[in-house]
Structure formats: structure tokens, C-alpha cells
Structure 1
Amino acid sequence: MALDTETPVNSLGFAKPPSETRVVVAMSGGVDSSVVAAYLADQGYDVVGVTLQLYDHGAALAKKGACCAGIDIHDARRVAEERGFPHYVLDYENIFKDAVIDEFADSYLAGATPVPCIRCNERVKFKDLLETAKDLEADCMATGHYIQRKMGPNGPELHCAEDANRDQSYFLFSTTPEQLEFLRFPLGHLPSKDATRQMAAQYGLSVADKPDSQDICFVPNGNYASVIEKLRPGAVEPGEIVHTDGRVLGQHNGVIHYTIGQRRGLGIGGLSEPLYVVKLDVDRKQVVVGPKEMLATRTIPVREINWLGDAPFTSQKEWHVSVKVRSTRPPREAIIRPLSDTTAEVELLTPEEGVSPGQACVFYETGGSRIFGGGWIWKGE
């Protein structure tokens, strides 16, 4: 299956032959980025593959479904050798720890539910790696993300992937207009992941049947608590599980083991009503539980907003959009009321359950595919 080639001269939008167009491909070692690299090389582009080593080789070798370490670096290098383009591995362990892992741990300890994949894109892949691509005199940088870059009347716009089941827009809301000028997403218009794997088989890639990566790359088996306890020894303290009416229902061994909206595994059985985590009070070391209706949230404070609309964010008192407050949920209609260039109050027209500080609130065109940016949910005052 061919990728999109609807451009003035070449499929990446440059008015020159592919052979004179240098593309740095961010290669994680997985199927998606490998297909992007193979496709662009096959089209005659001057492809340079770059893989970031984000954490320890040895620890990653034993972890299935990781990316950017161990066996994945080997797989990326092998694809480059098979398709005949140069490949470089850059050691980003220290940068990744400082920019992503440390904040992940501190956010959990503060009672938030962070999304480190967004921070990785924002602070590492689309920042330092993008600058490296420019240092290599690349015309653009391509990735295997499932999202679309479309040209609008005011320049490039960010749009959801054609395949809603693969769409990664939630994790890319912080892509700036300047970055969008330089980035390309060749897989965004494909109808399904099967189409990507068909292309991998077509190119004879050794990773054609490689499983998709799962969970957060530096968190083995999804066990966040064990990672945080290792990063912040002694910081995890026990406390009480408390009902919103003040009753002490039990004990916990650290708020990091709980998330807003959690029902299972609370360790407080024998009650007549189902209870959910409605608040994590770090200062008092309390996990606060209550009935489901207490999870409903209508107003959300959002900060660190990256705005991708055509007019300035504060040029209107209200923006009528749809928003996602978790990656797995569909967009819901909302009203954004800007407070500054980077802060706002978001009103959900239909209350959502389990809205948690540390998650992203991503803005979408209602009834359309365009992404207008987003920000981070926080606790407010």
C-alpha cells in the first residue's frame, strides 16, 4: 500500500527531488518507525535513521514491549542495514531521566497521575532530537506516530489519524507550530495498523511481526509503584483510607498505589456500597473514597497550554471545542475560558468521572479532526 503523495513535487512537500531531500527518521526499533524509514528510503529520499537510547541497555533487554533501549536499538540498526541508509544511536539517558523520569516520580508522589509519554515527545523527541535533525542539515524529521499534518490556510495543522483506534493525538498535543513546520507523519492517513504491517512485509523488514510496545517504556509490567520506590527511597509513606464523611475505613501503604476513580484493590471490603477513590491528600497521607457520583467533574483548571488555533488563544473569551481528559476516552463537548496565554478553565457540558491532576486535557474541533492543542490538568487553589 502506498503512502500519501499529494504534494507539489515530492511526498514530503518540498519542491525538489527526493534524492536532494534529507529526512531524519526517529527510529524506536518498532514496526511503525521502521516502515516510515523503509518507505522513504524506497522513494529515494536521503534518509538518516536516529535512535535515542533512553535508559539502561541491560535493564531493557529483559523487558518485552519496551522501546528505545536494548533489543530495540539492535532492531533499528538492522532495518537501516537492510534498507541501506545510515543509522546513529544517541545516548539520551541523562536527558531522559532529568526531563521525564524524575517528574514522573515526583508527580505520583504529589498525588497526580502523570503521562510521561507526552513529556518525552515534548522535551526529548520533538525538542533535542529535532534540533539534532537540524544539525544534520535535514529538511524535516519523520516519525511513526499515528497523527496527520495537513496544510491549512494559515500553515500546517495537526489532525487526528485516519484510524481512530490508532490515533495518538492525545500524546502529541504539545507539538508547537514551529515544530509542526519541521515534522512529518507518513502513517497518519493509513486505514489501520494492518496496513502498516503489510508494508513491513512488503519491504521484507525483520520487525514485520514484532509486537507493539506496551505500557510506559521504563516501567516493567506496568508496576509504577516499584519504579517510584526505587527512584525515591523512603518517600512512600503509609496512611489512612478515609471516607468523605470522615470515617477511617482502613490503611494504605502509600498514595502512589492509587489513582482517582479507582474502585478495585482498595482493601476495604465488607461495605454495603461500592466506593471509589475521589481524592489523594498527600499532605495528610490520606486516600479519600466516596460514592461514584462524587467523581463527576464539570470544571477543570488547565495550565501549560499549547494553543494550535489560528487566532490567539486570548483573542476570545470562550472557545467551543471538544476535549479529551484521558487518552482512552472520546472527546466531549466543552467550553474553554482563557485566563492567560497558558492557563484556562475548561467547562465540560457533560460532567466526566475520574478527572485526575497530571493528565492532559486535549482540545479538538467538535465534529472534525483538527487538534487545537491542550494543557495539563491540575488541582487549582
Structure 2
Amino acid sequence: MAGGIEKLTALKVARLSKPGRYGDGKGLCLQITKTGVKSWVFRFERDGKERLMGLGPLHTVSLADAREKARVARASLIEGIDPLAKRHEAVASNKAEQASNLDFDTCVRLYIASREAEWKNPKHRQQWENSLKMHVSPHFGAIHARRIDTPLVLKALEPIWKTKTETASRIRERIERVLSWATTRGYREGDNPARWNGHLEELLSKPSKLKKVQHHPALPFAEIGDFFKAVKAEKGVGARALEFTILTACRTGEVLGALWHEVDLENRQWTIPPERMKASRPHRIPLVAATVALLKQQVGQDPTFVFPGAKQGKSISNMAMLMVLRRMKRDDLTVHGFRSTFRDWAAECTDYPSEMAELSLAHTVGTAVENAYRRSDLFERRRQLMQDWATWCSTPGVKPKTPIGSAEEVVS
């Protein structure tokens, strides 16, 4: 030992037991607590103040290791660097790096949580989680978002791109949105490997080329009179809901969730709040004689739901109307398809402006600027349209030779 350095030996360190601090030289000390725990500390001065830097417990850090750690600390001091502050910065930097290295599955959970308020239906979250968990997580769910590249995205998409094209296309879009969110949050950098335009479109076949879009099967409008008569002969809440759906041209979910406080029988209107609408805007439906009569049949069955289910406090399920179609042996039809029947009828058999039919379907009409200046939903003018539709539905086999509704009459 020279210059007062390395005063301790391994044997001495092992035998020491009295609480205190034992110097090895040049700032390195063995520290023994009152409970007998031994550890290494490096003592130094900074700005005239004594500072102690822990180097680890004896059972983990040997005497030789402690001396090396102390040597590195002394080298930092010579360069004018506080070794303790340097360590704190390194720890903080490591924590920040770990926090920024979120894996894809974690990014999915955080993204969904950030957008959940926008989804009216809880099923949207479930669809997102299930599709990504099934088709993406096995491939790169545990990989840091910043390391996800095009080959990994293709690894998830290619097995289902040709066989489950529509599902694969949705998954691609969901991956893109999650990675875009991760980039904005600082969890990754660079281009989005899941983007379609100018990227994956060069590597994967166009979805439209792989699978022709299948629209909801719709009943020809010339047949709706006979069909509607058959529906009226069916018993049960599901059949009444199907009647109401056809007469109002509403979406299935809008009818299933119909609440009595939304209905104003006196003024003959049903107002669906924005949280239950696809476009997140309130939608008013004019009630005509047939729909008012149908609703009066439902009065008293449930205090909350217009079309109550078997369980108290619940509406009928989304399968109720489909089951009516099955009982009628009309598996070739879907409930949603009756909206197309209505739209085709309005275009082929009436002279009402197309925007009136679109508003009846709660579709967005015109540009954003036009909508900003439109103050009317043509409610009373739509009432006549819906009355004509109810008349058409309630008259089996009717095929008028001239269009219903004068263009001058509805536009003036």
C-alpha cells in the first residue's frame, strides 16, 4: 500500500463488525450500520460541502469492485464533474428512455383510453382490442413502438390480407392510427410503416380487387307492400320493432335503443339524441299515422324502452328483428337493407328532392360550408315523404304509374 491507499484487506473487511466508517484511502470507505449492514461509500467534497456517494452493499460489491468504482468517481472529479450528479442524471435518463420505449400493446391501451370518449358504443373498444390482440399482438405486441417497421406490419397483415380482406384492411388502419399516436407522443420517430398511400399499396393488393363490396341485401321496393303485410301478421316485440324500423327508415341500433322520453306523441315526433346517432348529431323523425298507432300499442309495456326485452330494464337484443326475418324464412334479407329499399323507392317512385330522402336517413347532405348555413332539417316537408312511404308500405302490390309528390309542392 502506498500513499495511504488500500488500507483495508478482504480479511479485515470480513472481520469488522463495529458500527462506523472505515477508510480505505482517497475517499473510499466501508460503512457499517448499527444493525451490522456493510456497504461501500465514496466520500468527497463539492463546493466546500461533504458528499457521500453509495457504491453498493458488501455482499454485492467486493473490495476490488469498490476500489474501481471509487477510481472512476475520482476521475470525474478531476474533470470537474460531480460523480453523484452524473449518476442521478444517468438514472433519470434511463427512466425516461424506458418510459419512451413503450411496446405496441401498451400503446394500443393508451390510444384506446385517449379516444374512448368519442366512441358511442362500448363494442367499438372491444372490436379494437380483440382484432389487434388476435392478429397483431402475436407478431409485435411486445416490441417497442419505435422498432416496428414495414416487415413486422406485413407479418401481421399478409396471412389474412387475401382471406379476410375487410378485417385485414381495418386492422391496417388501426395499426396506422396507433403508431401515428405513438409518434405524436414521442414514443417513435420516422415514417408510419402501416400507411397505405405511397407505401403498403405498393406491397399489398388493393382490397377492392380482392373482394367485391357486398351491400346489405335489400328488398325491392315493389315487394315491400306484401312483405309489410306479412310482418304485421307476426307476433312479438321484435316484429313491432321491425315494422317501426321499416316505417321510419332508421338504423337498427336507433330503434333498439328508442326511449319513451325521446318520443313526443302529441307533436308527433321522435328525437334521437346525438350520443345515439352515427353522425353524433340529433335526428328528428316525423311520426305519421301508422307510426303513432304502432307506438300507442307499445305504451305501458315498459316505462323506459319503447321496445323492451325479456329482462326488465333492457331493450330487445340486436338479434330480435333478425329472428323475425328468419321465422318468415327471409334469410336473404337484412334489417339494415330496408333503408336501401326506402331510398330506392324515394328515387324511383317520387319527385321529392334527393336531399329530403338523405335527411330522412340521417345522412350528411352537402359540404361542411353548406351544412353550416343550413338551419332547417326540412322536418315538416319530410313528414309528407314519410306519410307517402307508410302508405306505400301498407298497400300490398301498389305500383303507381306516376311519381308521388310534386317537386313544386315540396320545394315551394
TM bin, normalised by shorter chain, reads under 0.3
Larger radius of gyration: 2
Structure richer in strand, relative to its length: 1
TM-score by length of 2: 0.20
